[in-house]
């Protein structure tokens, strides 16, 4: 028994790989393109682990994917591979079209051919699990009910539009070809090994470096926050017991405005790593021009996965954010190594007005 994971050196994928191998001996074949956000240092503890086979490559490389499927005969494929940063999608949308749409299409084609040739019993047990985002649903008003799985798709950025397209392709391959797919749409993840372009790790890294803490607009954009290890446990549960063709929203039941996240991180750093100066890290907060088309509020209704599969998050935001800040403070080498020249150039471009 083996599973094939795509994008397993990225933030969520790598956390899933580490979590999976901490709980089972079932091997993983890990296919990752190793773009700027893929980091093998995250998986360094598995260097001598025979259960983990890493392959550098693109999900859009049909010949490579065909070969891996034929050689390793996985019982499931989990697709984490994606370009996932909204700001980058605004500056360079074509990368998102290629990976999230074309790449997903080519992966689906390879998996469909592989699944079609399986013996009947193995074919019935096979699953393709596609990891997606709540951003495909668009933006909510302050009093609107949270996103349910039946909410209309209304993506507002090139990133969310590309993920919406990939979701539709996955759904179509189930309804057209019978491919046994599962889709999860998650809220904002946070936790260890998060690339420091996203809000929480960027705050930690900038605060410790004495740099401005950039906050878009008025900072009142609301997101639901999900600790990454809770997300991993939800994916395991959906893979284990989810019904083919179904969508499961995964959330943390933690709606918070961005400025509250910023102040919480500052308060934790004040406690755990006090500044050499006399002021709080919150003195470094700097408001910057809002990004184009910035969605005001996301909220996930994770009731279906709890009702049908018995899953709910183990961490509160308070426990999860403390663990996250402690991890970054304890792992400065990982942070330093991941901050390449390309990353620094990106931050300079995005936050030039700070």
Pairing of strands 247-250, 181-186: parallel
284 is a domain residue:
no
The predicted model gives 89-95 an average pLDDT of 88
> Which range of residues forms the domain containing residue 110?
3-191+226-252+297-315
321 is a domain residue:
no
List residues with catalytic annotation: 134-135, 159
Read off the pLDDT of residues 151-165 as tens digits, 9 standing for 90 and up: 999 999 999 999 999
Residue with tokens 């017991």: 241
When the pLDDT of each residue in the chain is averaged and rounded to a whole number, the result is 93
- Confidence band for 18, pLDDT divided at 50, 70 and 90: very high
Give me the CATH number covering residue 170.
3.40.50.720
- Nearest CA-CA partner of 15 in 231, 198, 180, 207: 231
239 is a domain residue:
yes
- Tokens of residue 210, six digits: 């004495």
- Residue pair 351/214 in contact (Cβ under 8 Å)? The answer is yes
Read off the pLDDT of residues 101-136 as tens digits, 9 standing for 90 and up: 999 999 999 999 999 999 999 999 999 999 999 999
Q: Quick check: 24 pLDDT over 80?
A: yes
109 is a domain residue:
yes
For residue 155, the SS3 value is coil
Q: Quick check: 88 pLDDT over 60?
A: yes
Q: How many domains, in total, are found in the chain?
A: 1
159 is a domain residue:
yes
Distance between CA 180 and CA 173 in Å, rounded? 9
């Amino acid at each position: 028994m083996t599973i094939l994971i795509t994008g397993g050196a990225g933030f969520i994928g790598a956390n899933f790989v580490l979590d999976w191998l901490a709980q089972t001996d079932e091997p993983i074949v890990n296919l990752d393109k190793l773009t700027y956000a893929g980091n093998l240092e995250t998986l360094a503890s598995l260097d001598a682990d025979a259960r983990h086979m890493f392959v550098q490559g693109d999900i859009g490389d049909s010949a490579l994917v065909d070969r891996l499927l034929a050689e390793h005969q996985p019982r499931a494929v989990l697709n984490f591979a994606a370009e996932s940063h909204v700001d980058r999608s605004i500056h360079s949308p074509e990368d998102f079209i290629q990976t999230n749409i074309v790449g997903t299409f080519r992966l689906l084609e390879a998996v469909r051919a592989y699944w079609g040739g399986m013996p009947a019993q193995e074919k019935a047990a096979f699953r393709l699990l596609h990891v997606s985002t709540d951003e495909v649903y668009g933006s909510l008003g302050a009093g609107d009910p949270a996103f349910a799985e039946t909410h209309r798709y209304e993506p507002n950025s090139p990133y969310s539009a590309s993920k919406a397209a990939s979701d539709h392709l996955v759904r179509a391959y189930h309804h057209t070809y019978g491919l046994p797919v599962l889709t999860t749409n998650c809220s904002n993840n946070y936790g260890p090994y998060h690339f420091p372009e996203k809000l929480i790790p960027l705050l930690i890294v900038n605060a410790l470096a004495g740099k401005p803490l950039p906050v878009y607009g008025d900072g009142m954009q609301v997101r639901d926050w999900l600790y990454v290890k809770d997300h991993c446990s939800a994916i395991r549960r959906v893979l284990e017991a989810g019904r083919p063709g179904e969508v499961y929203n995964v959330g943390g039941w933690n709606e918070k405005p961005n400025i509250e996240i910023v102040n919480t991180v500052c308060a934790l750093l004040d406690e755990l790593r006090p500044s050499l100066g006399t002021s709080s890290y919150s003195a470094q907060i700097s408001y910057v021009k809002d990004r184009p088309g910035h969605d005001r509020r996301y909220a996930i209704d994770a009731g279906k996965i709890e009702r049908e599969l018995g899953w709910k998050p183990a961490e509160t935001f308070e426990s999860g954010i403390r663990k996250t800040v402690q991890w970054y403070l304890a792992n400065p080498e990982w942070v330093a190594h991941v901050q390449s020249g390309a990353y620094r150039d990106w931050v300079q471009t995005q936050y030039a007005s700070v």
